[in-house]
A and B are shown apart, each in its own frame.
Chain A
């Protein structure tokens, strides 16, 4: 018997399998959603009074009177970390021997490898989407209108795919799903060595320098431009370039790592 299946169909079938797994473990989604929502509520609660409506007309009014708009990108970047599940899914498949089962069939190795990455992308969309809904509920209102949510989501998607690639490479190189999970420590410096709470102009010394080299900075700034200012094209473009480059580099690294790890001994 021949498979007679195109790469796209194989990818779709394998991704559907992981969607089923994803849906069977809804509780696995909760911690990251909780942390992202927690950031949103806590930062808004702690800083919204200073930088929100009461700051209007003062030098602290960088949020244009709506601090939820300003801080929402931080929570969305946090939610996009959920793309890191890709590495866990893939390494779980390798550890459990499921990967080997599919390798013994005449189907594309790359369909087996890409399907967990697509699931990572789906998780990013679901989690970032949920955070946006929560943000909207507590007052987020993009400066460019509702379409702004979709623009922010597209940047989050690219950024999440970057994390997906990173976690796949880390998982495969460490050889364990715990390795993929542990590699997410990078998230904290990435998120906090950036203009997380105030604009970059307000940062000083080493933090200002570090944030200039941190791609997260440009991702957050692009999302903020959409939420707070409007269509600031150069900032938006830098955000897409930073997220796109991150995704390209980490996904390439992932493909090379997985290719090496799964080639015939």
Chain B
């Protein structure tokens, strides 16, 4: 049975002033035990999709089910199967971590004794045992996110929804949380997470759906998505905007991304001299050139025509960079 089955869901918000289609048409399936990433920029419709799947928003059109249970008509049953850590779910900062766990355990039906036992397990799991008796307002951002994750695991959910779980965290805290998310996946929990970080989707997600303007524009494993570009990416930058404009007219297969030109070709490293010579012959000075394997950002650029905001520098550039000095 599929963990999550989403068929052509739509979400329209209507107010007196206007109508906004936050999710236009989203479909995907998630197998049990996998991490499924919804990747997209702010406002793409990721969080709205998650809110619909977690029963917190109604679905305007389409169907969605969690472990075969209809999200729209059986919301109470769905809530029993899922754990939710949303971007804007709050934590009572005046209470201690331990008190929050005990309260949540009690609400999930644990007896007092079992609540205390489960609290200890979860504090240990998310690495907050020592901080358990401190008020949450004294926690760092990373500790709050781990607490949030722990609270969503109280009832051992089969499916976990994480909405931008590492947004705003420093790289160290992000990595700690990634390890915990992977460990959960390894223990059999199905995880659906949204992210605007390419590196996060690459690192965590078994499969990825790229969402842009309320639509799924690409779906597959990270490798499949990168392979769909069909080659390497040559990136060229220039000393002046004038040169950039001229080069764009000469290299007609190039796509502009900010102040760079990117060309997707097979065997990129071997093609670099050809492009450089072509540009030099037209009197255009190239500042830097590199060939790299495609990143998810390249996939995003390819399918949407835009860069994903908040993108971090690709980590897998090949050492084929050549640099032409001005006035050479």
User: Residues on A close to B: CB < 8 A?
Assistant: 1-5, 10, 13-14, 16-17, 20-21, 24-25, 93, 96-107, 264-265
Contact = CB atoms under 8 A, between A and B. Distances in A.
B91 interface: yes
Contacts of A2: 80, 109
Given A17-B92, A21-B92, A24-B94, 11 more contacts: A1-B109, A2-B80, A4-B109, A5-B109, A14-B107, A17-B95, A20-B94, A98-B90, A101-B89, A103-B56, A104-B55
B88 interface: yes
A58 B99 CA distance: 61
Nearest to A95: B90
A100 to B, nearest CB: 5
A3 B86 contact: no
Nearest to A111: B107
Contact of A105 (B77, B79, B88): B79
Nearest to A101: B89
Contacts of A14: 103, 107
Contacts of B108: 1, 3, 105
A101 B58 CA distance: 17
Interface residues of B, number: 32
B230 to A, nearest CB: 42
B89 A104 contact: yes
Q: How would you classify the secondary structure of chain A's contact residues: helix, strand, loop or mixed?
A: helix
Contacts of A265: 13, 57-58
B80 A3 contact: yes
A8 to B, nearest CB: 13
B54 interface: yes
A99 B86 CA distance: 12
A264 B92 CA distance: 23
Contacts of B89: 97-98, 100-101, 104
A16 B95 CA distance: 11
Nearest to A100: B89
B114 to A, nearest CB: 11
Interface in B144-174: 151, 155-157
